[in-house]
Homo-oligomer: A and B are copies of this chain.
Amino acid sequence: MDIASFVTSLVTSFVIFVVLVLVFTWLSSRPGNAPVYYPSVLLRGMDPWEGRGRGTRSPVGWLRQALSASEGDVVAAGGVDAAVYLVFLSSVLSILVFSGVVLLPVLLPVAGTDHALETAALNSDKAPQNFTQLERLALGNVRVKSLRLWAFLLAVYWVSFVTYFVLWKSYKHVSNLRAAARSTPDVKPEEFAVLVRDVPMPPPDQTIKDSVDSYFRALHPDTFYRSMVVTDHKKADKIYQEIEGHKQKIARAEVVYAESKTASKPEGTKPMHRIGFLGLIGKKVDTIEYCNDQIKELVPKLEAEQKTTLRDKQKQAAIVFFNRRSAAASASQTLHAQMFDRWIVEQAPEPRQIIWPNLCKKVYERQIRQVVVYGIVFLTVVFYMVPITAISALTTLEKLREKLPFLKVVVDQPEIKTVLQAYLPQLALIVFLALLPSLLMFLSKSEGIPSQSHTVRAAAGKYFYFIVFNVFLGVTITSTLFKSLTTIIDNPTGIVNMLANSLPGSATFFLTFVALKFFVGYGLELSRLVPLIIFHLKRKYLCKTEDDVRAAWAPGDLGYNTRVPNDMLIVTIVLCYSVIAPLIIPFGVAYFALGWIIAKNQVLRVYVPSYESYGRMWPHMHTRIIAALLIYQTTMVGVILLKQFLYSPILVPLIPISFIFAYITHMRFYPAFAKTPLEVVQHDVKETPNMDAIYTAYIPACLRPEKLEDVDIFEDAQSHTTSRAPSI
C-alpha cells in the first residue's frame, strides 16, 4: 500500500472519530437519551446531571469526569473486574510509553539516516518512490551487518525489561485490589458457601440431601450451617417462565386498555388476541381474562412440580453453607474424601453466575468434555486460516476488479479507489472476526465449568490464541503458513525465520489496522449509536410498560471474552513491531490511552457488571501479555539474524528469562487468585449475617418460596428426615 492511501485511511478514520465524539457529546447531553448514556448511573438510582452543572454540556465534560474518577469510584460502579480491566489497559499503556520514550528518539534517526532501501532500489534499478517514508524509518532501512543494529538489539532488551517491571507492579496492585475487595465486612453469599460435586449415590433409604447433611455435619460439626442439593429444575423453570410471560401480557394489556379509555369512549376497548400460532390464527380472547385464567391453572402445576423437583430430581451436587467465612474458605481448600472422585469441594460461584446444568456433571465426564473441546478449538484455530487467506487474497483491489468486473465503474474513480484500497482488507478482517466469540463461549460452557465468569475467561483464552495465530501470524505469513506448519513440526526455528522475513512487509498494514480499530471502533463504542437507535425504535413501537422500557435500555456488561483478546491482539502487534517499525508505538499508545479513558467512561456510566469475580481475569491477561512478549522476542531473534548480525544470539537469553519471570509471578501471586487466603476472610463480618437470606440467594427463581420464613419448608422438602442444624 502506498503512502497516499495510508494517509487517507488515517485522516478519514480520524475525521470519523471526531464526528462521532461530537455526536456523542451532543446526544449525551439530551435528557431523553439518559437511559442510553447513563444506564448504570440510573440503575444506581442517581441523577446523571446532578452536581455537574453545565460542565457536562461541554464537549470535554465527560473527559474531565472520567479522568477525575478514582479507582474506588470504578470499583463502586463496575466492580473489581472492571477496575482490573482498566489496570490492564493502563499497564499496557505504560509499557508502550516507557518503550516509546527511549525507542522513538533513538531508533528513528538510526534507521532514517541509513540507506539500505535506496541501495536495494538502485541495485534492482526501481524508481525509489515505491517505498514510503514509513519504510525509510523502519529496521528495513538499516544495512545488513551494520553496527547500528546494536541499537535495535538493545531496544529489545529495554522493551522486555520495561514489560517485566510494569507487569510485576500491576500484578501486585491487582492482587491487593482483590484482597481489599474481598476483606470488606459486607456479606457476600458466595463467601459462606462451597460447591460440592460428585456426591456419591446414597443408600436408597435416604435422599442425597440427607447424605450431604450428615457427611458435612460430621466433618464440620461447629461450622456447618445447612446444605442445598442441586436439582434438575428445567420443567419447573418452563412453567415459571410461562407464568411470568402471562403476567407481562396482562401488564401490557392493562396499559393499552387504560390508554383506550378516551373522553369519547370512557369504557375503552378491552385488548384481545388470538391464542393460535403467533397470535395470528385461533379464536380471539380477552387478553387480561385469558391470561389470568392461564395463571390460575399454572400456579398449582408449578407448586406440584416444585415439590417433585425438590424431592425426586436431586442431582449429585450440592451447595453447602457455613456460618463463618473462614470456615467456608478453608473447607473449599481442604481435601474431603479419601477417593478423589467423590465429594469434590470448591469455592461456590456467585448465585447470579451459576450455570446450573454444569454443576452435576461428574468429574470424569468433565475431563472428557474438556479434551474434546480443546480438540475442536485446535481444529478451529488452525483451519480458520483457509477463509482468512482467501479473504486477504481477494481483498487486494486489483483481484477484486478482475473477479467482479461490474465494479469497475465504482472502483476506477481514484478517490473511492484509495479509500477502498486503504480499508478493504482491514474491514474484511474485522467483519470476519465478529463471527467467532459466540462459538467459543458455547464451547467453553460445554466444558462443564460451573460459573459464568470462568466460562468467559476460558472463552477469552481460546479467542486469544485464535486471534494471534490467525490474524497476526495469518496476515503476516498469509499463504505460506501452511507450508510453515509442516516446517514447524520438524524444525521449530523455521517459523521464526518466516516471521522475520514477512514481518517488515506488513508493518504498514498493521499501522492502518490499529488506527482503524481505535478511531472508528472507539468512536462507535463511545457514541453508542447502535444502542441509541435500537432504544428509540423499541420505545416508540414496542414498549408498553415501564419494565419494557427498562429492558430496552438494559446496557449489559463489558463482554471481556471478546474485548480482552482484541486488546491483546493489538498488544501483540505493537510489541512485535515496536522495534521493527517504531512508528507503531505512538499508534499503540493512542489506542490504549483512548481505550483506557473511554472504557473508564463506559464503566462509570454505561455498563452494568453481570457478575463479580474479583479480578480473576488478571492472571490470564498477565500470562497472555507474556505470551505476546515471547512471540516478540523470538521474532526479533530471527529478524536481527536475517540482518546477518553476528551478535543477535545475545537476544536468546531473553526467552528463558521471560519463562522464569512468568513462573515466579505465577508462583508468587496466583494462589491468592485461585484460592481464598485465610488472611483475607479472617475479619469476620461484624453483625451475625442473615444466613436465611444467604441461603435463599442460591435458590433458583423458579423454586423460590414467596416468603423468607418458608426457607425451612423448602429445605425439608429435599430430605426424608428433617435434619437441620439450629440456625445461629
Contacts and interface: CB of A to CB of B under 8 A. Distances in A.
A334 interface: yes
A379 interface: no
Nearest to A684: B221
A176 B339 CA distance: 9
A297 to B, nearest CB: 49
Top 4 closest A-B pairs, CB basis? A330-B334, A335-B675, A219-B678, A333-B334
A677 interface: yes
Interface string A176-214: 100100000000000000000000000000000000000
A579 interface: no
A593 interface: no
B675 A338 contact: no
Nearest to A332: B334
A334 B335 contact: no
Nearest to A680: B338
Nearest to A672: B338
B677 A335 contact: yes
A717 to B, nearest CB: 28
Interface SS majority for chain A: helix
A219 B679 CA distance: 7
Nearest to A183: B338
A336 interface: yes
Contacts of A89: none
Contact of A334 (B219, B334, B337): B334
A671 interface: yes
A682 interface: yes
Interface of A: 175-176, 179, 218-219, 222, 326, 329-331, 333-341, 667-672, 675-680, 682
Contact of A335 (B333, B335, B338, B339): B333
Contacts of A219: 326, 678-679, 682
A341 B179 CA distance: 16
Contacts of A675: 334-335
Nearest to A343: B679
A218 B678 CA distance: 10
Contacts of A340: 667-672
Given A335-B678, A336-B679, A340-B671, 17 more contacts: A175-B338, A179-B338, A218-B682, A330-B333, A333-B333, A333-B334, A334-B334, A334-B675, A335-B675, A335-B677, A336-B677, A337-B672, A337-B677, A338-B677, A339-B672, A340-B672, A341-B668
8 contacts: A218-B682, A219-B678, A335-B671, A335-B675, A335-B678, A338-B677, A339-B672, A340-B670
B336 A668 contact: no
A531 B44 CA distance: 84
A217 to B, nearest CB: 11
Contacts of A218: 682
Contacts of A330: 330-331, 333-334
Nearest to A681: B219
A222 to B, nearest CB: 7
Contacts of A672: 335, 337-340
A447 to B, nearest CB: 16
A334 B331 CA distance: 8
Contacts of A668: 339-341
A329 B336 contact: no
A172 B329 CA distance: 30
A340 B218 CA distance: 31
A672 B671 CA distance: 21
A645 B339 CA distance: 43
A682 B326 CA distance: 19
A98 to B, nearest CB: 25
Nearest to A330: B334
A338 B670 CA distance: 10
Contacts of A338: 175-176, 179, 672, 677, 679-680
A669 B339 contact: yes
A670 to B, nearest CB: 7
A64 B543 CA distance: 92
A340 B669 CA distance: 6
A175 B175 CA distance: 38
A580 B336 CA distance: 46
Nearest to A178: B338
Nearest to A669: B340
B676 A335 contact: yes
A189 to B, nearest CB: 21
A179 B342 CA distance: 15
Contacts of A333: 330, 333-335
Contacts of A176: 338
Given A330-B330, A330-B331, A331-B330, A337 B679 contact: yes
A235 B339 CA distance: 46
A179 B336 CA distance: 12
A513 to B, nearest CB: 39
Contacts of A670: 340
A343 to B, nearest CB: 8
A416 to B, nearest CB: 55
A251 to B, nearest CB: 49
A591 to B, nearest CB: 33
A671 B670 CA distance: 20
Nearest to A341: B668
A667 B341 CA distance: 8
A329 B339 CA distance: 16
A673 to B, nearest CB: 10
Contacts of A326: 219
Nearest to A336: B678
A395 B248 CA distance: 95
Contacts of A329: 334
Nearest to A215: B679
A326 B330 CA distance: 11
A679 B218 CA distance: 9
A342 to B, nearest CB: 9
A199 to B, nearest CB: 14
Most central of A218, A336, A678 by chain B CB within 10 Å = A678
A330 B340 CA distance: 16
A222 B330 CA distance: 14
Contacts of A335: 333, 671-672, 675-678
